Structure 1
Amino acid sequence: MMPLMTPAELAADYGWTKVLAFGAHPDDLDFGAAATVAGLTRAGVEVTYVVMTDGDAGGFEAESQHTMTERRHREQREAAAHLGVRDVEYLGERDGYLEPSHAVQAKVVEAMRRHRPDAVFTMSPERDWSRLQRSHPDHLAAGEAVVRASYPAVENPFAYPEFAARGLEAFHLKWLMVYCHPAERSNLAVDVTGLEQEKLAALRFHASQHPDVQRMETFVLDGMEQLYRDWSTAHGTGEAVGAPGTARRFVETFQLVSVNDASTISGF
């Protein structure tokens, strides 16, 4: 059965105090995990965003393309700050050209070793055929690069020796929180009821990407509510979600992956 937890419960149960969150483009993390991130920062968890491309191919007006990188960096910093995320880092890759190369993987490993998080948020490397927009090639490449970095590169002391020479020692990452994943991979629902407006507020900062804000907000809220309906149905709670007089409930779902736990041995 897929558990339902609040962000604060998630942090307490798994002992998370520091999270590193990767997205392919500015706004990816806010679409996929903003409400959960808001709940984690409220619970005292330190969250850092790492945006892998500059989002330079985004937007709708040709005349604004020369300023798009600067604008999207600013939008992401403002959205992150609203959620309680103090630091946003940019890997500077070109929008639409991201590949899970060793050069990109090295940047991911460097960030992981520098921050040494308890958990890493990442996009899924698996294509979602039910909603292909989730599977932008940059999303898949970002997910693949982060997964490859998570095991074995970040924990192998002989990988990227130049980092060790700088004092960035190898370490064992415990958890991956995968978002933008195929629905059948969901194994964790995070109850973000009361935080849904924080997610919408974060998304509003990305004005260069969402000319129809009202339609976007309706899509997001309806989707989060449907996820809760699906969870309730799967668990037979019998809750009359959306019935007259019943408060709406919202969730974000993830694929929670244990990278290293008590059963882990070298290579398996």
Structure 2
Amino acid sequence: MTDASLAPLRPMPDDWQRALAVVAHPDDLEYGCSAAVAAWVAEGRQITYVLATRGEAGIDTLTPERAGPLREAEQRAAAAAVGVPAVEFLDHRDGVIEYGVALRRDIAAAVRRHRPELVLTLNHRDTWAGSAWNTPDHVAVGRAVLDAAADAGNRWIFPELAEQGLRPWDGVRWVAVANSPTPSHAVSAEAGFEQAVQSLLRHRAYLEALTDEDPETYVRRFLADSTRLHSARFTGGRAVAFELFSR
């Protein structure tokens, strides 16, 4: 079955003002959905980034002690390129993030702190589209985000957060999963495409370790391909697709 023969992707909801994006590593959002973020910010919406790690295990030629601060700085620059002013790090260990109560609590605290209507994360499924195996960090964080969106609204779960001044927030209306192998919705990537390119290019040290290809050539090709992947199911133009969970 071809992508074009599948059901059309529905437009993402637009009756919201605040979003929180929670992913595992620096660059996850730039590979996943920064074109959508750029368009939303241009419309006046408020978006905050929360990363479980600083990506310290992501560059083979650099020790974690050197890579962590470098990748943090690159992530802050990447966020600024699409108009996101706030980036927070939860300081879980890169590569060995554990799904469980501690991760759920940290994400629930972020949800209570920022009180979003929409929460974004990255593919939590075992595989990407096709047969490519997903990484444990993405699976753990994605699952924890889906759970923590509900945890944040329950005053009897993590009551210590309320004692810290983080009141329950039951206002999350959707969790949107980028790069899901089973997307249901999409948003145009046309308006935010160039900003998305510049945002991913801010991860210069990571890209130079990843590929011998010219970074801009690599980035433009990757984002062009990924935003065309589901075009036939949306408007025919560039799009960022999401699997949308309502609450």
Alignment TM class, shorter chain as reference: 0.7 to 0.9
**How far apart in 1 are the matches of 2:47 and 2:91?**
20
Say yes or no: does 1:16 pair with 2:16.
yes
- Using the TM superposition, give the Cα deviation of residue 180 of structure 1 relative to its aligned residue in structure 2, in angstroms: 2.4
Identity %: 31
Q: With structure 1 as the length reference, what TM-score do the two structures score? A: 0.81
Amino acid at match of 1:203: L
Give unmatched runs, 5+ long, in structure 2. 1-6
Say yes or no: does 1:218 pair with 2:221.
yes
Deviations 1:98-154 (A, max 9, x none): 011211111001110111101100123212253565721100011011111122x11
Moved >3 Å (runs of 4+): 1-5, 129-134, 229-232
| Counterpart position of 2:202 | 205
Q: With structure 2 as the length reference, what TM-score do the two structures score? A: 0.88
Amino acid at match of 2:122: M
Farther-moved stretch of structure 1 (70-79 vs 126-135): 126-135
Give unmatched runs, 5+ long, in structure 1. 233-240, 242-248, 260-268
Deviations 1:186-236 (A, max 9, x none): 11121111321111110000112212322242122122123213546xxxx
- Map 1:91-130 to 2 at 5 A: 91-128=90-127, 130=129
Q: Count matched residues.
A: 234
- Map 1:1-268 to 2 at 5 A: 1-3=7-9, 5=11, 10=12, 14-62=14-62, 65-128=64-127, 130-131=129-130, 135-151=134-150, 153-172=151-170, 173-182=172-181, 185-211=182-208, 212=213, 213=215, 214-231=217-234, 249-259=237-247
The SS at the match of 2:232 is helix
Amino acid at match of 1:256: L
| Counterpart position of 1:262 | none
* Bigger RCO of structures 1 and 2 (CA < 8 A, at least 6 apart): 2
**How far apart in 1 are the matches of 2:128 and 2:36?**
25
**How far apart in 1 are the matches of 2:15 and 2:153?**
20
The SS at the match of 1:135 is coil
Alpha-carbon RMSD: 1.9
| Counterpart position of 1:246 | none
Amino acid at match of 1:78: A
**How far apart in 2 are the matches of 1:160 and 1:105?**
9
- Do 2:128 and 2:180's aligned partners in 1 also have CA atoms closer than 8 Å? no
Q: Against the structure 1 CA distance between its residues 131 and 61, is the aligned structure 2 distance closer, same or farther, given a 3 Å change threshold?
A: farther
